[in-house]
Chain A
């Protein structure tokens, strides 16, 4: 196959490209330039988008003996990932830019361009597994079904941020690191091949927030918008520089003038962009057991349909048992889930409430290691 290896300059994507080469594919390395102003992005070894990273990716491609190109996706990145990031915070929600990047950049802009240029697949250094299985429909027809599964590396598993790509796009994706149980193994593979990035530190945080200061980035881009912090009774208890910089569940950075009457810690329990108000309250108010999701997508052969019974067996009201994960680094928790219409879903947590489920975050539905579907959190509340 002709495979485009997306090469960030990090160790994961370098080893993924190496494995694609060794599997016998015709591989071309592509580094995505996501900002015209390279200084905007973090430099040094922390990030994934600096000039040094582009150089590291080029060097890895040299060692692997594959062609290397830089594709300028900076406009698309600004128009989709960064614009969404700003708009979501402005709307009082908590975006996940890595999810949006997978949705709009890696598995849309990059994948579509690669496909148009004649590539069969895009290989990335993500930790997740694509399992292909044959499925027999009621009419006897057999087809290949793509399932997305968690990586055996619990700490690194990225199925949560990949689910948004959906089954059709992931059919053209390749995750050569899917079977690796630890990052150390990946580093060892890199060292064995003489890839100089083998000891490069992992990247964290948001690549386009140069210094890790999300609030500062938002203030620069959205401007200062002073407003009031109120408690649940509506009493003004403080001021802020812009409601957009706060996220539900946040405790730090509130700078409240008066302590709570009961002396307990207070958290952001609501962000109201219309009035530029932050509402703070006790931790109990953050606990929710009902979640409504929007922009839902389901993987193949999950819900019952023309192709067969599906992996889940919903009851008369459409509910089925699954697990849901609502944060990139959170655990999946047991839940009843049902599809609501063609674009929404509903979740009822069955093993107790969760704290700080922020609107805008991704919600991924699992059964065991398998991704069943995903949505964006629209609302969450306490039913009992």
Chain B
């Protein structure tokens, strides 16, 4: 095996769920706006030019996602939008009805949703209910309905992601909305992974708020948005100059927002063709990974069910640890992810896999491959070529470390 100590330009990038390459059109839009001076809140001509670029992007994003421009609140990214949704909706709904202190989130949410929810529990008297999922990571709707039947009038907010970032399972968001409506509970969905991969329509979905992110769909990092219905009670998290309906103060990042608009439109326009292509490529990847390592277990929804993001493949490799697999693949020029959050760089067993009932030892052997606009069959070839030796070595390391006990041997 060859070891490279510098990034390989021809490496296989299989981590589009972490971030995507910026499209040429988005980059051009970014550069054009970054070269101009102008605060979108200023009333003079420079400010008006900046404001115009922001508002065009707002219209573009709204149009691409079935929202009205006035429903788009630009943020610094998905995490900020999730924080605004969880805290802002909780505060807003509880102010209307003080009995409403419960926050319902699925157990497989991103930390950008879970952590603000648990922060509310620690600082604002919220009661957090983690909604269970099935073995494929899909929300248990019966559990949600039972929870609502018992405590619907005390619930301030439900947050269920559109699609999971680790295992790619698409959630029954419309059913969540249907169940919540009866009790007057606002619903938020984190659609960061979904936009550009599957069809997303804000209004048609019936949700009250939706998080989207720039860099997951070919735009720049540092920009995202919360789509929020105008009748939603939403308190501000960032206070200041009153930008973005007074809900999100701060000078607007015109360059990033312009690029975000271009990237969103492009991702949505290309969706039907790209989704078909990525599905075929992903199915090929899954089949060949299973061939290369018959012990590998595909986690998440069955790809044939249609309940899975087209670009997502997620496996556990019994007896191997994810960080060993990651290192060995990286050495072979293949960039993937364990999929789960790190604490100080330490891979933790994924809370998503644990919520799906995967034993901790098996969860340690997780590896996520995610495809996107720039993915090619050659990327899959490179992965499949490297995989057998990588898995063998990682299993040997798993044996001496004595931790990855999920071996199916």
Question: Which residues of chain A have a CB within 8 Å of any CB of chain B?
Answer: 2, 21, 26-28, 31, 33, 36, 38, 51, 54, 58, 65-67, 69-72, 74-76, 109, 112-113, 115-118
CB-based nearest A residue for B397: A116
B1 contacts A118, C-beta separation under 8 Å? yes
Kindly provide the distance from the CB of A35 to the nearest chain B CB, expressed in whole angstroms. Answer: 10
The listed residue with most B CB atoms (<10 A of its CB), out of A21, A65, A71, A74, is A71
Specify which chain A residues have a CB less than 8 angstroms from the CB of B3 in the assembled complex: 2, 26, 28
Binds A, one of B82-90, B155-163, B342-350: B342-350
A67 partner, pick from B5, B342, B394, beta carbons under 8 A: B5
Which residue from chain B places its CB closest to the CB of A73 in the assembled complex? Answer: B401
Select the residue from A26, A28, A118 with max chain B CB neighbours within 10 A.
Answer: A118
Nearest B residue to A2, CB-CB: B3
B323: chain A residues within 8 A (beta carbon): 69-72
Q: Indicate whether B167 reaches chain A with its CB closer than 8 angstroms.
A: no
Residue of B nearest to A64 (CB): B5
Binary contact track B306-343/A, C-beta < 8 Å → 1, others 0: 00000000000000000110111011000000000011
Q: List 30 A-B contacts (CB under 8 A).
A: A21-B5, A26-B5, A28-B3, A28-B327, A33-B345, A33-B346, A36-B346, A38-B344, A58-B345, A65-B6, A67-B5, A69-B323, A69-B326, A69-B345, A70-B323, A70-B344, A70-B347, A72-B346, A72-B347, A74-B346, A75-B403, A76-B401, A113-B400, A113-B401, A116-B397, A116-B400, A117-B324, A117-B393, A117-B396, A118-B328
Are B399 and A65 in contact, CB atoms less than 8 angstroms apart? no
| Other-chain contact of A33, B1, B5, B330, B344 (Cβ < 8 Å) | B344
CA distance A65 to B7 in the complex (A): 10
Closest 7 CB pairs of A and B: A70-B345, A116-B397, A112-B400, A116-B396, A26-B3, A33-B346, A72-B346
- CA A123 – CA B347 in complex, angstroms? 23
Cα–Cα distance between A70 and B326 once the two chains are bound (Å): 12
Say which residue of B343, B346, B397, B403 sits within 8 Å of A117 (CB atoms).
Answer: B397
- Chain B minimum-CB-distance residue to A109: B401
Least CB distance from B255 to A in Å reads 27
**Are A117 and B401 neighbours in the complex by a CB distance under 8 Å?**
no
A65 to B330, alpha carbons, bound, how many Å? 15
Known: A112-B400, A116-B396, A117-B327. A66 touches B344 (CB 8 A): no
- Collect the chain A residues with CB atoms within 8 Å of residue B343's CB: 36, 38
- Contact A31/B345 with A65-B6, A69-B327, A112-B400 known, Cβ cut-off 8 Å: yes
A156 and B401 alpha carbons, distance in the complex (Å) = 31
Bound CA span A352–B409, Å: 60
How many Å from the CB of A286 to the closest CB on chain B?
41
Q: Are A54 and B345 in contact (CB under 8 A)?
A: yes
- Residues of chain A lying within 8 A (CB to CB) of residue B330: 67
Interchain nearest-CB distance for A374 vs B (Å): 24
B5 touching A70, Cβ below 8 Å: no
Q: Which residues of B contact A51 (CB under 8 A)?
A: 344
Bound complex: CA A115 to CA B327 (Å): 14
Residue among A31, A76, A113 making CB contact with B397, cutoff 8 Å: A113
Nearest Cβ on chain A to B320's Cβ, whole angstroms: 11
Knowing A38-B343, A70-B346, say if A65 contacts B397 (CB, 8 Å).
Answer: no
A78 to B331, CA, bound (A): 30
CA A162 to CA B1, docked complex, whole Å: 31
A219 to B326, CA, bound (A): 41
Chain B residues near A26 (CB, 8 Å)?
Answer: 3, 5
Contact between chains at A117 and B394 (CB < 8 Å): yes
Nearest-neighbour CB distance to chain A for B283, whole angstroms, equals 31
Nearest chain A residue, comparing its CB with the CB of B347: A72
- Known contacts A38-B344, A54-B344, A75-B403, A117 near B5 by CB under 8 Å: no
What is the chain B residue whose CB lies nearest that of A32?
Answer: B346
B328 — which chain A residues lie within 8 A by C-beta? 117-118
Which chain A residues border B396 with CB–CB below 8 Å? 116-117
Distance (whole angstroms) from the CB of A285 to the closest CB of chain B: 44
Task: Compute how far the CA of A56 lies from the CA of B145 in the bound complex, rounded to whole angstroms.
Answer: 49
Quote the shortest CB–CB distance from B347 to chain A (angstroms). 7
Taking a contact as CB atoms under 8 Å apart, the answer to whether A118 and B393 are in contact is: yes
Give min CB distance, B113 to chain A, whole Å: 23
Q: What residue of chain A has the Cβ atom nearest to residue B6's Cβ?
A: A65
How far does the Cβ of A377 sit from chain B's closest Cβ, in whole Å? 30
Which B residues are CB-close (under 8 A) to A70?
Answer: 323, 342, 344-347
Among residues of A, the one whose C-beta sits closest to the C-beta of B2 is A26
Chain B residues whose CB sits within 8 angstroms of the CB of A69 once the complex forms: 323, 326-327, 345
Which of chain B's residues 64-117 have a Cβ closer than 8 Å to chain A?
none
Given contacts A74-B346, A113-B324, A117-B393, 14 further A-B contacts (CB under 8 A): A38-B344, A51-B344, A58-B345, A65-B5, A67-B327, A67-B331, A70-B346, A75-B403, A76-B401, A116-B393, A117-B324, A117-B327, A118-B328, A118-B393
Instruction: Tell me which residues across on chain A come within 8 A of B6, comparing CB atoms.
Output: 65
A225 CB → nearest B CB, Å = 33
Report the Cα distance A271→B201, complex, angstroms.
74
Partner of B399, one of A67, A72, A116: A116
| A109–chain B nearest beta-carbon distance, Å | 7
Interface string of B388-409 (1 = CB under 8 A from A): 0000011011011101000000
Report chain A residues within 8 Å CB of B401.
76, 109, 112-113
Chain B: which residue is nearest A66 at the CB level?
A: B5
Question: In the assembly, what is the distance between CA of A31 and CA of B323, in Å?
Answer: 13
Q: Least Cβ distance of B398 to chain A in Å?
A: 8
Q: In the docked arrangement, what's the CA distance between A66 and B400, Å?
A: 25
A51 to B403 CA separation, bound complex (whole angstroms): 23
A158 and B1 alpha carbons, distance in the complex (Å): 34
B404 → A minimal CB distance (Å): 11
Complex contacts, A112 vs chain B, CB 8 Å: 400-401
Task: Tell me the complex Cα distance, A67–B323, Å.
Answer: 13
Chain A residue nearest in CB terms to B399: A116
A38 to B347, CA, bound (A): 14
A32 CB to closest chain B CB (Å) equals 10
Note all chain B residues with C-beta closer than 8 A to A66: 5
| Complex contacts, A109 vs chain B, CB 8 Å | 400-401
A109 to B399, CA, bound (A): 11
Residues in B with CB closer than 8 Å to A76 are 401
B397 engages A27 (CB within 8 Å): no
